[in-house]
Amino acid sequence: MHFFLWHCCKAHSFLASGGAVERVAAIRRPGSVAIPDSGAVGRAFISALVIYVLAGLGFGLTHKSPQAIALGAILIFGVAYMLAQGFADAAPKALTRRTAVYAVATSVGYFTLQAAMTSLTIGLLPATPSPGPLEWALIALAVISFGVVAIVQAMFPLWAYHPAAAGLRVHISNGFYANAVFDRIVSDCSIRNPL
């Protein structure tokens, strides 16, 4: 009896799969409301930086550690990406206003949470060490890397329909095959140095 029921359920699932595909295809996919051009992306990054500096000055930005400033700069690249859609020429005014409010709220929220955590952990954690040359290089590398990724991500909708982007999309979705390279390195190391 169980065998019969199992096959009936399996047959029903197979026959209902076409309807499932139609329902999934009918789901509204999230995506860019408006595609920003390079001018909108530039305005978004400048605006995000201004919002970050103004919010930071209210929280004593000049007395923050370089590490905290760098983390905030990385956060602001995400805010700039959000603002870029609001600054696009085809964006509705409501979207522009909403993204501007969210950008301010995100920046103020970052500094508020940072100030709260600093006051909660004062005396419990050691002071943030001053960065040396290597640390400065790593901070700069991290901020620049996130900035480049944010700009490329904001500009990608402009390039998405170019024929070269279709070929590039395959390589990007595979992470430029870094996983295969690291698997090979780990495999070679484990063969040479068995436990």
Q: What pLDDT does residue 165 have?
A: 72
Residues 88 and 165 placed together within one structural domain of the fold: no
Shared domain for 41 and 101, answered yes or no, is yes
Domain identity same for 70 and 146:
yes
Query: According to the model, what pLDDT value does residue 137 have?
Result: 94
- Are both 173 and 153 inside the same structural domain? no
Domain tally, the chain: 2
Domain that holds residue 168: 160-195
In this prediction, residue 30 carries a pLDDT of 44
Assess whether 112 and 174 both reside in one domain: no
Q: Is residue 4 part of a domain?
A: no
Here the tokens at position 129 are 């060490």
- Cα separation, 157 vs 118, in Å, equals 39
Inter-residue contact 109 to 52 (CB < 8 Å): no
Residue type, 12: H
What pLDDT, on a 0 to 100 scale, did the predictor assign at position 2?
A: 52
- 137, 144 contact by CB (below 8 A): no
Q: Give 49's DSSP letter.
A: H
State pLDDT tens for residues 91-137.
788 888 888 898 889 889 988 998 898 889 888 888 888 899 999 99
Ranges under pLDDT 70 in the chain? 1-34, 190, 192-195
Query: What CA–CA distance (Å, rounded) separates 53 from 103?
Result: 12
Is residue 55 assigned to a domain?
Answer: yes
Does 150 share its domain with 90?
yes
Q: Are 113 and 184 in a shared domain? A: no
C-alpha distances out from residue 59 to 9, 64, 71, 107, 123, Å:
61, 9, 15, 11, 20
Record the pTM: 0.63
